[in-house]
Amino acid sequence: MPIVSVLMTVYNRRDYLAAAVQSVLASSFSDFELIISDDCSTDGSWEIAQQLAATDDRIRIHKNVQNLRDYGNRMQAASLATGEYLKYVDSDDMIYSHGLEVMVQNMQQFPQAALALSHASPELPEPYPVLQSPEESYRRHFLGRGSFGCGPGGAIIRRAVFEELGGFRPEWGVLADLEFWLRAAARYPMLLQQPALLWWRVHEGQEFRIGDAERVYLVRGFELAQQALADAQCPLSTAERETSVKRLQHHFVRKLLSIAIRRRQPATAFSAWRASGLTLLQTASGVRRQQ
């Protein structure tokens, strides 16, 4: 069995797919399988995947019988994995040659960690990777500068934990990764690992730019954070939860004000406020400057 399963989900990425695959094949760490899961592409991506698979026996390809969307396809790819670790490399990104080796070394150094997320923050008192308990992860995320600010491309996950917790929940859409990070970190230690291990390409066809993704990030992101803080598995104390909720409401209301005033979209801000379920009193409290 390979040490790590590299998972590459594809939907109409013919312009980027070959470069993404070649970046994985050029990795200094070679004990991997590369699983390419095509989500019913119509632009020739599947044919490119077939050609690439013929060049290296570590590449396995799969074509879905129906379109599963982003996180449905990520779950499909994970179901085919046999490695100890899962490493997503999106078909429009490129992993640096040292990236896979560093991530695997991090997980092997700390076998108690469920996952490692790339992170860059100036206040860290020690070099990467940094092991955090559930309490430390949640404190840094809700009361500090964040723990979970990266997508699947910046993560490496212990497959046994991923399967135990049911993996990503596609109903959360673009927030399915954050929902899993919160759920896993509430139960297991996690690592903050070195930044810039993968090159994240920016282009107009990305999932988070399509449809109502911005509204999902704002409204459902607020819902998700409240859910995590209210969950019985939340590792924070009662006082820390209360402070976290107040900070969360403050940041949400300030964001609404920015949308309404700076971006001149009061209707959008009002719609998001109504969807949030905040009372007038909570909203007014959120407007006040934090102590």
In degrees, to the nearest 5, what angle opens at C-alpha 63 toward C-alphas 62 and 68?
115
Mean pLDDT of 173-178: 94
Q: Which residues contact 44 (CB under 8 A, 6 or more apart)?
A: 14
Which pLDDT score is estimated for 146? 87
Type of residue at 269: A
Strand order in the sheet with 59-63: 59-63, 32-38, 4-10, 85-88, 155-158, 115-118, 190-193, 130-132
Q: Is the pLDDT of residue 287 over 90?
A: no
pLDDT tens, 3-32? 999 999 999 999 999 999 999 999 999 999
pLDDT tens, 48-94? 999 999 999 999 999 999 999 999 999 999 999 999 999 999 999 99
Q: Which residue has the higher pLDDT, 122 or 263?
A: 263
Which pLDDT score is estimated for 77? 98
Mean pLDDT of 271-286: 87
Distance CA 229, CA 234 (A): 6
Q: Is the pLDDT of residue 160 over 70?
A: yes
Which pLDDT score is estimated for 75? 98
Q: Is the pLDDT of residue 274 over 70?
A: yes
Calculate the average pLDDT of the chain.
93
Q: Is the pLDDT of residue 291 over 60?
A: no
pLDDT tens, 181-236? 999 999 999 999 999 999 988 877 766 566 666 777 889 999 999 999 999 999 99
Nearest to 90 by CA among 3, 11, 31: 11
Element (H, E) at 232: none
CB 184 within 8 A of CB 190: yes
Distance CA 241, CA 243 (A): 5
